[in-house]
Structure 1
Amino acid sequence: MNALDRIIGAISPVWGARRVAARQVLDTYGERAYAAAKSGRRNKGWSGRSTSANGEIGSSLRDLRNRSREFVRDSWAGQRMLDVLTSHVVGTGIVTVPNTGSDRLDKEVKLVFEEWAEQADVEGFLDWSGIQALTVRSMIEGGDTVVRYVDIPLADAGRTVPFRLQGLEGDSIDTSKDTAAIVQAGRRIRLGVQMGVLGRREGLHLFEDHPSELGLNAVQSNFVAWSDLSHIYRPLRFGQVRGVPWFASILLNAREVQDLIEATLVKARTEACFAGFIRRTSGGMSPLARQNKDDTDGKKLTRIEPGMLADIGDGEITFASPSSQTAFGEVYMTAMQAMAAGAGITYDQLTGDLRQANYSSLRAGKIEFRRLVEQVQWTVAVPQLIAPVHRRLIHRAVFHGRLKRRRDGYPIDHIMPAVEPIDPKKDLEADILAVRAGRTSPQEFIAAWGRDWRKVVEDTAAFYETIDKQRDGAGLALDIDARKPMKGSPDNGKQTGNGKADEDE
């Protein structure tokens, strides 16, 4: 209590007590309760700012993108991380399967899609699976990718739907078009992305060519409507309109690790050198210049061979003894583990080091990794690329008469790349038990292996029909017939091709 509080308290005890209570409340709210929010010696290294996602990205995206690409170009670790993530998210392609409820319609849609998929690239170079892989790869490396929808002339389309895709890197978005303030009718442009009311995307401002392409004019940018493109990136904050390279959090440490490896290699090469230093008086003869009668060929001794012991006279030679002590192994392993974790993959996926791995450790690590892959597949790849492209394809197919207009549309299912089991027998038995217990459906079980369950059923039925015809005539029997007990099965009864046990005679 200060002097003023004491005076007021003497005159009016009630008002004095209120002042003291109010000051205590202010002191309580003014003091930060979280240690990480306080100011002091331990927190002087913090430099956090109250910036929006776009504010942070706008000032850093170009440098992050360029350094991420350099990391991939010049480092085996960056190349490996990118390959692992792309191969698991896309694999050989995310499969789209029609599910209209009519086998006839499903076959029609599938035929249209398969014909188009082979020529999906407007450049005539990649197919639909290749576009998927390169799109995801560019997104991971550079932060975001754009796929434009291009309508081509009917004469150039042949039998396919006259619709193609053009892949563009994130550099093609004109970030100079940036007006954070609302310009008109609730519309604004942020980092090349035009938005309407409530931030709803309206389109992108795209350069005519890549800004760094030599000899081409990339200054001019044009507005492309949102319905004519797919903008693919992984959002990390609400309101974020551009993507960030996935390696942003590890680039600094990755550069230091790369320098460490280079320094260690130079050190090892230096230690491998067996260097000698000659001591002799000023103006004296070199002890290696032997010219006695034992030197019959008259040649000078100018180098020392491995394991050689030579009499060099009265001169003195001192050899270097470099130290070979280093903690590189421990530092390297720890750095690789941190980099792998930062990229979202496991240590063994990055380095191929399985020396201390077993079934339990591999499975535990892969479970976390697969959750990340599934999240990217279902929250980024499908809603931002696969589903919009399929909708546009169906729309164009209906417009050009390849498919009939249908009130319920043409629903589809998505089949992700198969997840290879760590222990096939154990994992398969667990999956079968999950189906029998009702935890998952047979359709989901088959789809988890990257297959269309309808195709599997059709192929299996055709296979059994064929071998049954052959068996009746030639006695053909295969151990892969699922209707019969496997070799070594405890079931001693014989079964026919229809799955019924024959009676013992």
Structure 2
Amino acid sequence: MVYDGASRSRRTQGWRSVSTDANTEVLGAASRLRDVARDMVRNVPLAARAKHLIAHNVVGTGIIPTIECDDEQLKGQLEDLLKQHFDTTACDAYGRHDLYGQQNVVMGTVPESGEALIRYRPRYASDGLPLPFQLQVMEPDYLDSSVNGPQANGNYAVQGIEFNPFGKIEAYHLFPEHPGSMATYSLQVSKPVPAEFIAHVFYTQRPGQARGISWFAPVILRMRDRADFADAHLMRQKIAACFVAFIKSSEGSGVKDEGKDYPVESFEPGMIERLNDDEEVTFGTPPKVDDYADYIKGQDREIAAGLGISYESFSGDLSNVNFSSGRMGWLVEQRNIDAWRNFMLLPQMMQPVGKWFLDAAAIKLGRSISAKVLWTPPRREMINPREEVAASRDAIRTGLSSRSNEQRKLGFDPADLDEEIAADNTRADDLGLIFDSDPRKVTSVGNPAPQQQPQN
């Protein structure tokens, strides 16, 4: 059996095929790729748009925590602590973001730098925080990649991450300050931080992969070529616009201006270059840009595909979109968003944060806690609300879904939403108000709802 892709021929001689594992490949490229990606985000508009687009779609206004607990009194106490700690900047070691802002920072860092670290910082009760801990979001530069191979304690390290003989992560070797900080004047020495104090977020692409790689890796060259192509077209048009007319002469090729001979060294709009005295005038013809739009659109489609987002959301070009094509593009992008959220952000960041919260709450309340922290993703805007709401209603009525599940899909906490609905109904009853949105009083067609008889 012969596979063309495995053959060695003139057609395949340019391929670079290696058998190294994921960590060997990442070690040689991660630092350079993240530096280039950061430069692109700083200077290439579409790179900045892609970074923010991914972060804002995965996190939205925040992935909200809720408590699952059989003890209603304890559940109320825990939910109060959630709001006090995570809905304020008290949870941020830098004092700038609430938990949802930190989620956004993490999901902006991961595509750009390939990975992000969240460090658990224990605090004293005297610090006056709702809970005695804070979160520090860190760039991957803090990890000492030079720590590799066998360690003195019998463990094994891969690019700053220390594993025990069974393959479990024991520690992360971190620098005390960012290696690129201007405040770092002396040579830093990394120190191991226990793994239970670190949440390491990156998208795993190969089994055994220990470090993340910038998501811009497959498209960096195309984004640079695209930017260079646009700059070249712009410069060509600028230069063409500077030459309005040429004056030819048969007496020579000297360039004169007010009796002084000198070469033309700069251009300006409306400029006329004098080749010699009198004779013939020829007007310049600016080059055409017929191929520009097609090339740019083709490049944008490839870049968007490489980043896992739709061309329309990446480029902002909605000129040829109809409802069906827009919905198909959004559904594919939504699948990627769900994967990034459910396979990466939730298990690697939010679950450790939930554990840290429960541990700190046990200290705060002075009791053992039997509870779980659930995470509700942000609401998804509906493309066709009339049809989608009807579909959700039918799914609930036929037992294919629950009210709580459909509420979570819209980004609502079911418990909070039910309490809000009950409060609205109570207030309306106390004031004697009847709204056609209240199924207890009015049917879907506006008729009075039949009164239910009390059960014996």
Unpaired segments ≥5 residues, structure 2:
259-267, 272-276
The offset of 1:186, in angstroms, is 5.1
Alignment counterpart, residue 263 of structure 1, candidates 232, 241, 255 = 232
Partner of 1:275, secondary structure, is strand
State the match for 2:421 in structure 1.
Answer: 460
AA of the residue aligned to 2:116: T
Contact 1:208 1:218 in 2 (8 A): no
AA of the residue aligned to 1:339: I
Flag the 1:269–1:437 CA change in 2: closer, same or farther, 3 A: farther
The offset of 1:288, in angstroms, is 11
Cα distance in 2 for partners of 1:463, 1:98 equals 23
AA of the residue aligned to 1:64: L
Residue 388 of structure 2 corresponds to residue 417 of structure 1: no
The offset of 1:273, in angstroms, is 4.2
Cα distance in 1 for partners of 2:176, 2:269 equals 65
The offset of 1:129, in angstroms, is 1.0
AA of the residue aligned to 1:111: D
Cα distance in 2 for partners of 1:355, 1:90 equals 27
Partner of 2:218, secondary structure, is coil
Cα distance in 1 for partners of 2:278, 2:97 equals 75
AA of the residue aligned to 1:113: L
Cα distance in 1 for partners of 2:83, 2:411 equals 17
AA of the residue aligned to 1:445: E
State the match for 2:261 in structure 1.
Answer: none
Range moving further from structure 2, 122-131 or 320-329: 320-329
Unpaired segments ≥5 residues, structure 1:
1-31, 290-302, 307-312, 501-505
Residue 152 of structure 2 corresponds to residue 152 of structure 1: no
State the match for 1:323 in structure 2.
Answer: 287
Alignment counterpart, residue 481 of structure 1, candidates 419, 438, 453 = 438
Alignment counterpart, residue 49 of structure 1, candidates 18, 22, 25 = 18
State the match for 2:165 in structure 1.
Answer: 197
Cα distance in 1 for partners of 2:218, 2:400 equals 38
Cα distance in 1 for partners of 2:247, 2:374 equals 79
Residue 392 of structure 2 corresponds to residue 431 of structure 1: yes
Q: Which has the larger radius of gyration?
A: 1
Contact 2:242 2:269 in 1 (8 A): no
Superposed CA deviations along residues 349-370 of structure 1, whole A, max 9, x for unmatched, are 0111111111111111111111
Alignment counterpart, residue 386 of structure 1, candidates 327, 350, 363 = 350
The offset of 1:469, in angstroms, is 1.8
Residue 46 of structure 2 corresponds to residue 77 of structure 1: yes
Residue 92 of structure 2 corresponds to residue 92 of structure 1: no
Flag the 1:163–1:304 CA change in 2: closer, same or farther, 3 A: closer
State the match for 1:338 in structure 2.
Answer: 302
Contact 1:145 1:167 in 2 (8 A): yes
Cα distance in 2 for partners of 1:405, 1:325 equals 71
Residue 426 of structure 2 corresponds to residue 469 of structure 1: no
The offset of 1:341, in angstroms, is 0.8
Cα distance in 2 for partners of 1:287, 1:142 equals 56
Cα distance in 2 for partners of 1:33, 1:437 equals 53
Cα distance in 1 for partners of 2:187, 2:118 equals 18
Partner of 1:419, secondary structure, is coil
Contact 1:287 1:315 in 2 (8 A): no
Superposed CA deviations along residues 74-129 of structure 1, whole A, max 9, x for unmatched, are 11111111111101111111111001123322211111111111110112221111
Cα distance in 1 for partners of 2:326, 2:441 equals 34
Contact 1:147 1:165 in 2 (8 A): yes
Cα distance in 1 for partners of 2:312, 2:101 equals 27
AA of the residue aligned to 2:447: G
Cα distance in 1 for partners of 2:375, 2:326 equals 27
Residue 206 of structure 2 corresponds to residue 237 of structure 1: yes
Cα distance in 2 for partners of 1:190, 1:127 equals 32
Superposed CA deviations along residues 47-77 of structure 1, whole A, max 9, x for unmatched, are 1100000000001111111011111111111
Cα distance in 1 for partners of 2:256, 2:37 equals 56
Flag the 1:314–1:267 CA change in 2: closer, same or farther, 3 A: closer
Residue 449 of structure 2 corresponds to residue 495 of structure 1: yes
Residue 146 of structure 2 corresponds to residue 176 of structure 1: yes
Contact 1:58 1:191 in 2 (8 A): yes
The offset of 1:185, in angstroms, is 6.5
Flag the 1:107–1:279 CA change in 2: closer, same or farther, 3 A: same
Flag the 1:305–1:242 CA change in 2: closer, same or farther, 3 A: closer
AA of the residue aligned to 1:264: H
TM-score (norm 1): 0.81
State the match for 1:143 in structure 2.
Answer: 114
The offset of 1:206, in angstroms, is 0.3
Contact 2:171 2:192 in 1 (8 A): yes
Cα distance in 2 for partners of 1:383, 1:432 equals 30
Alignment counterpart, residue 368 of structure 2, candidates 372, 384, 405 = 405
Contact 1:109 1:403 in 2 (8 A): no
Alignment counterpart, residue 61 of structure 1, candidates 18, 21, 30 = 30
Cα distance in 1 for partners of 2:287, 2:197 equals 64
The offset of 1:198, in angstroms, is 2.8
The offset of 1:385, in angstroms, is 0.8
Contact 1:207 1:220 in 2 (8 A): yes
Flag the 1:447–1:269 CA change in 2: closer, same or farther, 3 A: same
Cα distance in 1 for partners of 2:11, 2:199 equals 46
Cα distance in 1 for partners of 2:215, 2:278 equals 66
Alignment counterpart, residue 409 of structure 2, candidates 421, 444, 448 = 448
Range moving further from structure 2, 460-469 or 265-274: 265-274
Cα distance in 1 for partners of 2:121, 2:257 equals 78
Aligned length: 436
Flag the 1:288–1:241 CA change in 2: closer, same or farther, 3 A: closer
Cα distance in 2 for partners of 1:141, 1:305 equals 43
Pairing 1:195-344 to 2, within 5 Å after superposition:
195-216=163-184, 217=186, 219-273=188-242, 275-280=244-249, 282=251, 315-344=279-308
